[in-house]
Each structure stands twice: as structure tokens, then as C-alpha cells.
A and B are shown apart, each in its own frame.
Chain A
Amino acid sequence: MPPVSADGYLGKFRREGRIVIVGASLAGLRAAETLREEGFTGTLTMVGDEPHEPYDRPPLSKQVLLGKVPYDHTALPRRRAIDAQWRLGVAATGLNPADRQVHLADGESVEYDRLLITTGVRARPWPNDLEADLDGVFVLRTKDDAAQLHHRLKAGPRRVLVIGAGFTGSEIASACRERELPVTVAERGPAPLVGALGGVIGGVAAALQREHGVDLRCGVQVTGLEGDPAGRVRRAHFSDGTAIEVDVVVASLGATRNTEWLAASGLGAGPRGIACDAGCRAFDVRGIVTDDIFVAGDVARSPHPLFGYQFLSLEHWGNAVAQAEVAAHNMISASSDRRPHVWMPSFWSAQFGVNIKSVGVPPMADQILITQGSLAEHRFTAAYGHQGRVIAAVTFDQAKWLDFYERQIEQAAPFPTDFPTVDRRPEGMQPQSAGFPDPSLPSHGPTVTLSGHSPADRRISFTPLRA
């Protein structure tokens, strides 16, 4: 048991307090488990807008689409009982920090002594509402999305169009090819994964897609989706004037933070997420940190000491778990026992038979060096450099080396690296430009975003280009 503060408030709170967690997915569940694990015995309320108990999302764009795992077999394993009051299928619609109340879609309110916000992100929909409503047009974020998309893929569509070649879009395309479905991928950037990993690695991702039979079209936009009289999507038009016949369209345009419900709350919440300090405490719009509202997971943006203390937003599974654990610990600990969340950004993806893993913040880089292996063989390790130091690394089917590069990032090791490694090839002798696109033109979106130093960032909004 952590020590209890002298005034006894904390002890009483830990025994009888009320904690509300808004957002019943990975971060929310792991936070709840940590609260109980660390001895919180008060009431715990879990609010979630989806009707499902917490489930795991990474399989949705992989095993579920392949039919290897049924969509309803994705429930997150429970580490322990959490003895919570569940309010599932009810979205939170507002927050009143003065009264310490969360307002719910069913008109009720829940009071809290301390609040944890883990509302995550949702898929950015196809911007044209009429086209988005056509039968056969999907996004993929939830288990219901995955169930419907899987059902449709199973029926054997003549062609699938994936709009946006970020990680989710590329994984969907990969699943389609594994199902031997014809698939077109449209990416308005110069290559797949370019926002997350830059143009050099994007080139490898493009080669992978084409080798697996994807009709990959980069540098084009989808200008319109056309339906038949029955309202089923039939045709997609591109900015280069071409068109294709399609039965299924998946818009993979990145994610939007679920913060709209906080618009009137006075919290520092906006399209980039909710600003919080390294201890996961939310900032209000004045830049003052709150002491009873905590944030964790994809919806959080928090300053990171390794990356110039810029606010960092991460859509990473491991970050959601680690940040939830820190937030939960800090919620029930005295200030002196609180811990900072200094997670090393890391993620993985599986597509076209390749395991892709990355650590650090690649989009911050200006240069890249292939330190091991070969781009042409699609098996390599690359280090990213930012102003003379190692800032990130990525591996294609070489994940076992990544620990080493993580240490290099932590130690701010010099870039380009000046030591020999196993499997160094001629292409690994000279760094080259990493080839990140202009960040003011988001496409599928990177999964790590640096968003400046202001806790009250509300400036950035995404406006899709229309033809």
C-alpha cells in the first residue's frame, strides 16, 4: 500500500471515493484494474458509448477480416475483477468540472471525486455524407465496423477500394489480398505509410503492396463515390480523371479525437486531444493543471522530455496501457508518490506478410540511415535522425534489434550512427532524406503527432480537399 497523506483525505478517498472512467476500451479497463490492484475500494463507474465490454482493436484489421478470429472473440483479457458499475452503450455528452458531474446521453449524470478520461479516437468518416451513407462504404474502428466489413468481404466483392494508405488502410488491403480479393488503394500522398514513416520507407511499403497484387494509386484523391439506384456503391472517381467499379469502399482517413463532449467543459481539449501533464492530469484552457481530472490513451496529449517537451499524441496500444496504469496510480496517490508517464512511442503492424515495428517519433526526423539489412529485400532496420541525434527507428521483419535502438534514442545517441553493425550493406553507409511530406497536409495521418508546446491547442483542424 502506498503511504497515505497526512490529512487523511487521500485515505478516505481510497476507501470510499467515487471514480468515474469515461471510455471503456483498453486504457479505461487497464486503469480500472490498476486502481483495484493498488487498493482503491470506493465506487468505480465505467462509461462507454459502445454497447460492448472492452475489446481489443488490433485484430480487427487483421485476423477478424481474415475470418481467423470471430469479431465477438476479441474481448480484452481481464487481469483481475474490477467490481465496477458499467454504463455501456451510453455516451458521455458533457462535463461540469465545478459540480464534478459527467452528463450522459440518456439524460442522467454521474458524480465523481476523480475522473479519468479515456475516450480515445474514432475513425474519420468519408467527408461527403451522402456518399458515406451508400451501402458498401465503411470505416474501420469498432468491432461492429469489423463485423460488417468482414461479412461483406466474405461475400466476394468484385473489387475493394481502400482510401488512405496509413497503417489501417494498408492492413485492410493486405487482408483483402490474402482473401484473394481485387483491391485498389488510393493514397493522396506519394506512398503508403508516408506520414508515419516517411518516403524512403513508404517506397518499400509501396513495393510490398504492388508485389502482392494491390492496384496502388498514389498522388491521387478520390473525388467522388457513385451509387446505383438501390443506394449501393458502384463506382469511384479519381482526381486523375479515371474511375473504377467497386463493391466495397473503406475510408481509412485516420482518426479524430473524441473530445467534442468536452467543448463546454473548460478543459484544454480539442481536435488534437486533451492536454495533460506528465502525471496525466488534464490542463484547463487557461493552461492550469487540474487535480481531479486525469487523461490516458489515444485521446491524451502530453509533454515528452525526450522530444523537446512537445505535447505528443499517440495512437499506440502499448501507450494506452502504460499511460492508463500511470494515470490510475496517480489518481490514488499523494503528490510525492506520483509517477511521470515517459513512454517511448512504439507500435507494430502486420501487413503483406511483414512485421513492421517502430520506436520513437519518426515524423520528427529529417534523415534516415539503413543500419541493417536491405530495403530491396524488405528486411531491414533503419534509424531516423533529427538534428544530429537518433530520434526513431523502424524495422521490417527485424524487430529483435529494436531494443538497442530504443536505448539509442533514450541516450540521444549521435546521428548518423558511427559504429559498424552486423548486416551493414552499401546502402547503409550514407544517410538520406527521410522524405516526410509537409505536415500541414495530413493524409492518412501519422500515428504519433507532435503538437507544439501549448496545452490549450485548438488551432488545428482537418479539412479534406475536395475536387
Chain B
Amino acid sequence: MTSVALLRQITDYANRADPYPLYAELRKTPVVRDEAGPYLVSTYWEIHGLLHDPRVSSDARNLGAEAAEFRGQEEDPNLPPTFLKLDPPEHDRLRRLAMRPFGPPHSPRRVFDMRGELGEIVSGLIDGFRDQDRIDLVDDFSYPFPVTVICRLLGIPREDEAHFHGWADTLAASLDPVQGTSEEREAQLQTVRQARADLATYLAGLIEERRRAPRDDMLSAMADGHGPDGQMSPLEVISTSALLLIAGHETTVNLITNGMLTLLRNPDVLQRIRDNPGLAVPLVEELLRFEPPVQLLPQRTTLADIDIAGTLIPQGASLWLLLASGNRDPQRFHDPDRFIPERPDNQHLGLGSGIHNCFGAPLARLEAQIALTELVRRLDNPRLVEDPPPYRRNAVLRGPRHLPIAFDGLKP
């Protein structure tokens, strides 16, 4: 395969339902330059190496002029970049500050203590399926569940979801490369700018409320926190909470939906997790390998010339790390196209690796474990209505837009 328009093939909606044959083609050349400029990295060890390579930057300001031109995406001039798009030491400082109210070492019990609450939300949503024999898993379950969770965690009123749903969807889609004619690109960018501004304004008001009357939530903690790193600036609180709000549900929705889809395609595995709920833990890991919600990382760049797998990537180049392809690399995973929940040594790239590894990983894992266990336990004879289901447009945050499921009834 030539390098012509590889990138376009990845973003091509026709490949959304099953991008894996394309990835298999790509892996024949571990590092390849797309005609549009970026270097696509598709094999496990090369991706893993670059994720831990201090010569690789997540800060778009380090892109060479040519690469920046292609990228077409712009940073919000009104808000500081999030830690997702920063390098150490700024990345480390902001991530530590955001971690203080979320995980170890300062809040080691935060996620664990949400266990009961997560179970209640899941039960409530499934109870709502009573008297139905068909649901859309995405709209009726996979979306509302993590949204409710991230709202409670951050301290965002759930009833405001009508406001931020659209903004979040727009911003999640903006992770994909901007394409089309320059007018189309400009229009897309305009929509993204507007969504970002609206979300920021909304969050700023909420953060101000929390600053005045703190509660036991992350917005309050980030607005009012103090520790060895000082505290976030007001604008940093806005950009960080926007990041967490979007990342907290736009990815988990796909993890849960992909999970149910995969189980329904593998009835023997579905039966096994029904018989043995303890299987949920390795099963979710295998799911993160097999159908990762974040398919690729399109925003890295090189600080130096990097010689990798026989290709010299020049300084300032744009890197695309195809996590989902690395997860199917037969050089790393035996029989990679099979879904094997008990797979040993499953060090997948589904949550990334290195300093930018998924911030919300412990929460996402727990949400998926509880959701899938309860769905298979309670739905009687669940069946796919269509396969493949219709997908969202997004190539980066890939997942079904709808997943219609038929079933015969609910178990208590």
C-alpha cells in the first residue's frame, strides 16, 4: 500500500465500523509518512516507545511550521491549554493538582467509595427498561450513566446536561483532524470555538458558586485547593474541568457500548461473565485492547530527529500514534483479533501509557465493570438488532451512535 491518503482512509467514515483491516495493512510499515504530513505509527513497540520518549512533545507549539499548517486546529486563545496538551513541568503540575481530589496519594478512596453510588445509578437506569423489549443502549444507558457519574464527581448539576451535551459532542468531535475546503474548515473551527466559549462561560459561573460555597466535589477542590503546588489559576480550573467533563463521558460511553456489542457478538463470553462476574476485571482490560474508545493520539510532535523502525522522523513532525492498531499487533499479542477475556500479560495501549496515560482510568474501569456485569445479569436473552450498528462520525473517539438491543425481559 502506498502512503497516499492513509490518513484520509482512517478518518473515512466507511471504515468506522471495522477499521482493523486497515490497521493490519498499516502495520506492514510501522512508521509511515502520510502525504498530508503526519507520521503514522501503527505497531505496538514503536507506539509504546514513543509514549515514553522524552523527545516527544504533546505541546502543539513545538510543531514545525509545515505540520502546524496541516493541523489546522487552533488553541483557544482565551484559555490556558489543558495538561493533555502540555509537557512537563506544566503538565505535571496541573495533573497533580487535578489528581489531588481524585486519586492517590491524597484521595486514594475517592473512586473506590463511589462503588455503591455507581451500582445504584446502573440499577436505576436498567429498572427504567421495564415494560420494554427493546432499547438503544447508547441513549438509554451508555451515555446517561457516565454523564451522571462525572457530574456528581465534578459537582455539575445533572439537569444542566441539556446545555453541555451539545458543546461536549462538538468538542469531542474536534479531536479529529479538520478536513474539507478552507470554508468548511473555517466553519467547523467556528463551531468549535463557540462551543468552547459557551462551555467555559457555563463552567466559570459554576466554579464561582463553588468558590463561594464549597461542596465535596472536584470543582470545589480545584477552585479552592491548596498544597505544595499552590493552586490552579481560575482559568486553569475552567480548562481542566472542561477537559474532565468531556473526557469523563465521551470516552466511557464508547467503552460500555463497545463492551456490550462485543459480548453480544461473543455469546460464549457473555455466558461466562454471567456465570462468573469476577471475570469483569480482565474482560474490561481485554475490551480496552480489542475495541479501545480512544483509537489514536493525533497530537504529538518531535523535539528532535527520531530514528525509529528504520524511519527518521524529523524534528517538528506531527505524530499519530494508532493505539488501536498497536493493540492488534501480532508481534505483541498472540491471536490479536480474538477477544479473549483471560488473556495473560495484557499490557494494552487502550488507556495510553507514559505520563499522559488516562487520568480517569480507575473510574472508567470501574464504570465499565459494573455496567457490563449488571447488563448481562439483568437483561434476559439480549440480542443485537443490527450488526454493525450505526457509528458516530468520530475517528479518534470511536464508538456506535446507537446500539439497538432486543431482549425478553428483566431479571430483578
Contact = CB atoms under 8 A, between A and B. Distances in A.
Same complex for A and B? Answer: yes
Interface of A: 353, 371-374, 377, 379, 381, 398, 400-404, 407, 419-423
6 contacts: A372-B54, A402-B52, A403-B48, A407-B49, A419-B55, A421-B303
Given A419-B304, A420-B303, A404 B54 contact: yes
Given A420-B304, A422-B57, A422-B303, A401 B52 contact: yes
B64 to A, nearest CB: 14
B304 A404 contact: no
A422 B51 CA distance: 13
- Residue of A379, A402, A421, A422 most packed against chain B (CB within 10 A): A422
Given A400-B354, A400-B355, A423 B89 contact: yes
A403 B49 CA distance: 8
Contacts of A404: 49, 52-54
Given A400-B354, A400-B355, A422-B303, A373 B89 contact: yes
B94 to A, nearest CB: 14
B88 A372 contact: yes
A381 B89 contact: no
Given A400-B354, A400-B355, A423 B53 contact: no
Contacts of A379: 89, 92
Contacts of A372: 54, 88
B55 A421 contact: yes
Nearest to A422: B87
A143 to B, nearest CB: 25
Contacts, number: 51
- Residue of B49, B53, B54, B57 most packed against chain A (CB within 10 A): B54
Q: Which 3 A-B pairs have the closest CB atoms?
A: A421-B54, A423-B88, A422-B87
A399 to B, nearest CB: 10
A200 to B, nearest CB: 19
A277 B303 CA distance: 42
Given A372-B54, A400-B354, 10 more contacts: A353-B105, A371-B54, A373-B88, A374-B89, A381-B54, A401-B52, A404-B53, A419-B55, A422-B54, A423-B88
A398 B54 CA distance: 11
Contact of A422 (B48, B88, B357): B88
Interface in B76-95: 87-89, 92
A52 to B, nearest CB: 29
Contacts of A373: 88-89
A402 B54 CA distance: 10
Contacts of A377: 89
Interface in B25-83: 48-49, 52-57
A27 to B, nearest CB: 20
A415 to B, nearest CB: 15
B52 A403 contact: yes
Contacts of B56: 422
B70 to A, nearest CB: 22
Nearest to B86: A422
Contacts of B105: 353
Contacts of B354: 400-401, 403
A374 B93 CA distance: 13
B172 to A, nearest CB: 26
A404 B92 CA distance: 18
Nearest to A397: B92
